[in-house]
Structure 1
Amino acid sequence: MKLSDFEMDIMQLLWQHEPCTASQLHKVLLADTQKDKKVAYTTVKTIIDRLEQKGAIERCGQDGRAIVFRSLITQDALSEQVMPGFMQRFFKGNSRSLIAHFIKEEKLNDEDIEYLQTLLKNKKLD
């Protein structure tokens, strides 16, 4: 399933707040965006309609006259689909470069570093 950047943004919000209506997603989106980047409700509704057509979300009820939506695809499943293309596009398929980039660019606290060390230790045991 191929999603645009804005469709991905809407999916992120839906995963955090589901189930919810288009109006609820629009309000959350307005609260999260900068003042100069306001998005119209009709734009959000169009994206929700596209996500429904693509099979990423479904109608799961009503709240008054508003339709309530929930996701049909998990964040992990979508990540698995898009990561290979992302890695190829930006890092020429080299996972080492991808990991190094994020470690160098991210501000990591001690808890983050400990978590990454545990992941690497577990990976070594596999």
Structure 2
Amino acid sequence: MIDYKLAQSETKFAELIWQHEPINSGELVRLCEKELGWKKSTTYTVLKKLCDKGIFTNKNAVVSSLIKKDEFYAGQSRRFVEDTFGGSLPKFLTAFIGGGKLSDRQAEELKKLIDRHKED
């Protein structure tokens, strides 16, 4: 999977697109003005950048995603674990849980998830 790294403002912009897609580019400009305080030129500049990265497409003035929101955030999560914990999921989970305890339900859900995804 391609590694997509977005600035905070780009992520907010992407969220707007994912929430409203497919969206007419003119409507996107109005939405960005209202929600982000952006001018038309800023919206189109950022849109072009994210289209060039292969995350969105703008065809016939209709903007839609090439990478779905869940897929994008899954990649972000993998990168975080890789960068922060050397790719070690057990180290990440240990840090995430901290000194806390998992409920029986949470522990069972994790066991099922591990069973579904473990190598044979």
TM-score (norm 1): 0.61
Equivalent in the alignment of 1:99? 93
Equivalent in the alignment of 2:35? 29
- Map residues 1-126 of structure 1 onto 2, 5 A cutoff: 1=2, 2-5=4-7, 6-20=9-23, 21=25, 22-27=28-33, 29-30=35-36, 38-61=37-60, 67-103=61-97, 114=105, 116-126=106-116
Relative to structure 1, the CA distance from residue 89 to residue 25 in structure 2 (aligned partners, 3 Å threshold; closer, same or farther) is: farther
Amino acid at match of 1:19: P
**Unmatched tracts of structure 1, length 5 or more:** 31-37, 62-66, 105-109
SS across alignment from 2:64: strand
Q: Residues 44-86 of structure 1, C-alpha deviation per residue, up to 9 Å, x if partnerless? A: 221101111222111244xxxxx22011111232234333322
- Compute the RMSD of aligned alpha carbons: 2.9
**Unmatched tracts of structure 2, length 5 or more:** none
What is the alpha-carbon distance in structure 2 between the residues aligned to residue 97 and residue 47 of structure 1?
Answer: 36
Q: How many percent of aligned residue pairs carry the same amino acid?
A: 25
Q: Runs (4+) of structure 1 moved beyond 6 Å?
A: none
Q: Residues 28-48 of structure 1, C-alpha deviation per residue, up to 9 Å, x if partnerless? A: 533xxxxxxx44442222110
Count residues with an aligned counterpart. Answer: 106
Note if contact 1:13-1:28 (Cα within 8 Å) is conserved in structure 2. no
What is the alpha-carbon distance in structure 2 between the residues aligned to residue 41 and residue 119 of structure 1?
Answer: 46
TM-score (norm 2): 0.63
